[in-house]
Structure 1
Amino acid sequence: MTVHTRAIRRTRLLAGAAGVALLLGACSSGGSKADDTKDAADGYDPAAQVTITWWTGQTTEAEATAEQLAAEYTKAHPNVTIKTSTGASTTDDLLTKLSAGFTGGSYPDISYAYGSWAGELATSGKTQNLAKYVADPSFGWQEIPEAARSTATYDGKVIGVPALVDNLALIYNPKLFDDAKIPYPTDQWSWDDYRAAAKKLTNTAQNQYGSAYSVSGSEDTTWHLWPMLWQRGGKILEGKKPAFNSDAGVAALELLRAMAVDDKSMYLDQTDEKYVPLFADGHIGMIMSGPWTLLDLKEAGLEYGVTQLPGHNGDHQTVSGPDLWVLFDHADANRAGASRDFIKWLTSKETDAKWNLAIGNLPLRSSEQGTPEFASYVKEYPGGQKFFDNLANAKQARPTLAGYEEMSRNVGDAIAKVLQGAAKPKEALDDAAKKSVGVLEDS
């Protein structure tokens, strides 16, 4: 089967992150607070002739949809020209391209960005502050999930508008459960239930595993631990100090270690790219993944089920990895104002149904649940409604700060070592925390 770009979009977020962070820091013009004295769109004339540049960061199919929507907008606003492009050869390259653009003055007005980049971009000194703009009731800011709004916010400054929302849930293969004669997962499952089922589903002689986990050390490795940490009452940070190495974090990682090392019920993916295809081919019973995976399962023709993540003491929190449309300041009120108006239109209830739902993503806004496009989406992608409902369990967001990516890499490396039997949970997380202290304090 072919793995769509969106299906692996969470797996490569940290490539080159440390070097890019240094470049972004070097081109910063005083950080986010310096930009708050004057609104970038002060003096905006909606009738002025203006050209804005939009880096969509999309695959070929989605880029075509983006170009159609840009044309639709400019037809209704003939004074606005929108130059649309992917921005880089892959979405993962956008941050490097933006960094170079900040140095050379060739950055766009609007760019797609992974949520994990928000802290780096916010401290670049190049972003607009949309806090007052999105606070206007006409924008409908509260219709967007809180975790996504939090990701777009840095130190009180709103640097963009969510472009995509998602979350992690448990996707399972009913046939493998039937073959093992065990009940299907439910929304009430505990982590003990999950572990027990994974063990029963595992048959290493047939290369069949109960579950899977990434050990690449990337963000895909790290963010799967955060829901377990939160469910046990833990925190990622206390202020700017690491807190993930608490008793809650150690207990969460110990359970994963027990499954991977003791039970041998967990397929360990070194690349991030194998566990979804293996699940689709019937070699893995359960995976913790997001709604982007539904596109691949549809293509594979696999019958599957979706439930909330297993929980601890009835807490079934999940994690959301929202991406953003980040808006940049070029000291031109008309460019700033036009880019805001376009993004407001693009993320509106009516247009988002033509964008996210059309390309297989969850809708941005709660108000879209009643649209015909949403009805078509949940019919085309079984489990889509469950993922939409599961947004309510995304009660916390990953930290938006400049040091997040390097901290995430440290945590990811720690998890990978533990699951491969090369370290114990406590010592590995303590080491990751120690390595992250300086990075976070400087952010």
Structure 2
Amino acid sequence: MNRRFLAGVAGLTLLLGACSGGDSTDDGKDAAAGYDPAAAVTITWWTGQTEDAEKVAEGLAGEYMKAHPNVTIKTSTGASTTDDLLTKLSAGFTGGSYPDISYAYGSWAGELATSGKTQNLATYVSDPSFAWNEIPEAARLTATYDGKVIGVPALVDNLALIYNKALFDAAGVAYPTDQWSWDDFRAAAKKLTNPAQNVYGTAYSVSGGEDTTWHLWPLLWQKGGKILDGKKPAFNSDAGVEALELLRSMAVDDKSMYLDQTDEKYLPLFNDGHVGMVMSGPWALLELQEAGVEYGVAQLPGFNGDHQTVSGPDLWVLFDHKDANRAGASRDFIKWLTSKEIDAKWNLAIGNLPLRSTEQGTPEFAEYVKEYPGGQKFFDNLANARQARPTVAGYEEMSRNVGDAIAKVLQGAAKPKEALDEAAKKSAGVLEDS
């Protein structure tokens, strides 16, 4: 899953804004107006995938081209790593070398929406044949900026509580349930912690990146808080302070939380039996399976029965080259790729959750939940992803500010209220300008 988190995002907001080379406003014109489905056309697709997934993508592109011989799809990863795509896109906007379709982390959506280069798919996806409402709401919201739909979800996920059964058994602690409260979570983490054996009850990233930040959001929402109020920071409310205080009490007072300075160590430590519980997602299931860990999955611990989670959807963003046939062909291909039938050959084939609710009845989904124990739990947990991270141009910088605040608090260098207030102050200007 760490493929999702962008390292070193500071400055990319300015980079994209400075390099867009276009008007950031929507001119109201349909990029695909006049599209001729029979016209010969070539489109470029930056998949942003690893080597194995790239091969699957190329196979699917070939399948589409066989059925649509007038369409040529030039497929590539787009950059050496997915993290590099945003920088590559911003440079492409200046030189006119950007693709027709690109993979993008959902946290980039606000930046890309204000580039002046994206299509507006709002009318297109509202057609009943697209079945837009089969895709989880949090993913649909991530693709939407100020009423403009800039792409189609490429991947959906969520955070749940994954636990190591062997460590629970050794400590004589009952396994987590879907009804667990914050207090249950804290108490179990304390009992699981065994300094003599280098075992921690749970873990948290203090890298200061998005991995640090987005783990706080579900706790904030469970307390009734909001990330933003319009374009003003609201995460430093009483709800945000109380959510961060829970984490602080575990890290500083109980010392039951392993603090990962990189965000790359805590899952391997869980797999090796040194961490009892992690708030993680379906991307962890493959490594758990390979490591032979006997694990279970439960909903996130909740407050007063609210077990909201957070989803980190990624997108297929569609770009406008002022060519109706390129725009129309891009739309048709992505509609096909994200259909119930083809998504089962894509996301489920590479170990991701399905995009659409209707895929639960497919043979591919049955095989997925058989191969990845806990997959059904993560699929069901999508119903608890009732809110989305804000699609605003300043999200990346705000996330870095909040992540730094969380890191300070968990390492005992600041108190929750003062740290979140400082993050809100730093973020106010960039959000108002977005």
| Aligned twin of 2:402 | 411
Aligned partner letter, 1:9: R
> AA paired with 1:151?
T
Aligned equivalents of 1:244 and 1:28: distance in 2?
33
**Cα deviations across residues 102-158 of structure 1 (Å, max 9, x unaligned)?**
000000000000000000000000000000000000001000000000000000000
Q: CA deviation at 1:284?
A: 0.4
1:390 partnered with 2:381: yes
The residue that corresponds to 2:12 in the other structure is 20
1:44-443 aligned within 5 A: 44-443=35-434
Shift of 1:384: 0.1
Contact 1:28 1:123 in 2 (8 A): no
Give the CA deviation at 1:371. Answer: 0.1
What do residues 315-350 of structure 1 show as CA deviations (whole Å, max 9, x unaligned)? 000000000000000000000000000000000000
Q: Distance in 2 between matches of 1:89 and 1:170?
A: 32
C-alpha displacement of 1:20: 2.2
Structure-1 separation of matches of 2:16 and 2:223: 35
Deviations 1:179-227 (A, max 9, x none): 1111100000000000000000001111100000000000000000000
Q: What is the identity, as a one-letter code, of the residue corresponding to 2:11?
A: G
The structural deviation recorded for 1:303 is 1.0
Contact 2:10 2:400 in 1 (8 A): no
> Runs of 5+ in structure 2 lacking a partner?
none
Aligned to 1:305, the other structure's residue is in SS state strand
**TM superposition shift of 1:48:** 0.3
Corresponding residue SS for 1:437? helix
Question: 2 CA distance for matches of 1:178 and 1:158?
Answer: 48
- Among 16, 22, 25, the residue aligned to 1:29: 22
Deviation at 1:16, TM superposition (A): 3.9
What SS does the aligned partner of 1:351 have? Answer: helix
How far did residue 28 of structure 1 move? 5.0
Alpha-carbon distance change, 237 to 425 in structure 1, aligned in 2, over 3 angstroms? same
- The letter for the 2-side match of 1:24 is L
Question: Contact between 1:199 and 1:265, CA under 8 Å: does it hold in 2?
Answer: yes
Q: Conserved in 1, the CA contact under 8 Å of 2:351 and 2:368?
A: yes
CA contact 2:21–2:94 (8 Å) conserved in 1: no
What TM-score do the two structures reach when normalised by structure 2?
0.99
Cα distance in 2 between the residues matched to 1:18 and 1:28: 20
Amino acid at match of 1:349: K
TM-score for the superposition, normalised by structure 1: 0.97
Q: Classify the secondary structure of the residue corresponding to 2:176.
A: coil
**Which string of whole-angstrom CA distances, capped at 9 and with x for unpartnered residues, describes residues 382-419 of structure 1?**
00000000000000000000000000000000000000
Amino acid at match of 1:434: K
Take 2:2 and 2:224, find their aligned partners in 1: how far apart are those partners? 29
In the aligned structure 2, how far is the partner of 1:330 from the partner of 1:108?
9
Query: Matched residue of 2:60: which SS?
Result: helix
Aligned to 1:4: none
Is 1:168–1:309's contact at 8 Å kept on the other side of the alignment? yes
Cα deviation for residue 29 of structure 1 reads 2.4
Do residues 9 (structure 1) and 3 (structure 2) align?
yes
Bigger Cα displacement from structure 2, 360-369 vs 175-184:
175-184
Separation in 2, partners of 1:223, 1:19: 20
Q: Which residue of 1 aligns with 2:34?
A: 43
Amino acid across the alignment from 2:266: Y
Task: Note if contact 1:172-1:286 (Cα within 8 Å) is conserved in structure 2.
Answer: yes
CA distance in 1 between partners of 2:67 and 2:185 (Å):
52
Amino acid in structure 2 at the alignment position of 1:143: E
Residue 237 of structure 1 and its aligned partner are, at CA, apart by: 0.4
Q: Which amino acid aligns with 1:165?
A: V
1:249, CA displacement in angstroms?
A: 0.4
- Alpha-carbon separation, structure 2, partners of 1:101 and 1:351: 29
CA deviation string 1:31-63 (max 9, x = no partner): 2x433x210000000000000000000000000
5+ unaligned residues in a row in structure 1: which ranges?
A: 1-6
Amino acid at match of 1:52: I
For residues 227 and 23 of structure 2, what CA distance do their matches in structure 1 show?
27
Residues 51-77 of structure 1: per-residue CA shift (max 9 Å, x gap): 000000000000000000000000000
SS across alignment from 1:17? coil
Residue pair 1:228, 1:252 contacting (<8 A) in 2 also: yes
Aligned-partner residue type, residue 29 of structure 2: K
For 2:402 and 2:21, locate their aligned partners in 1 and report how far apart those are by CA, in whole Å: 27
Structure 1 distance, partners of 2:9, 2:39, is 38
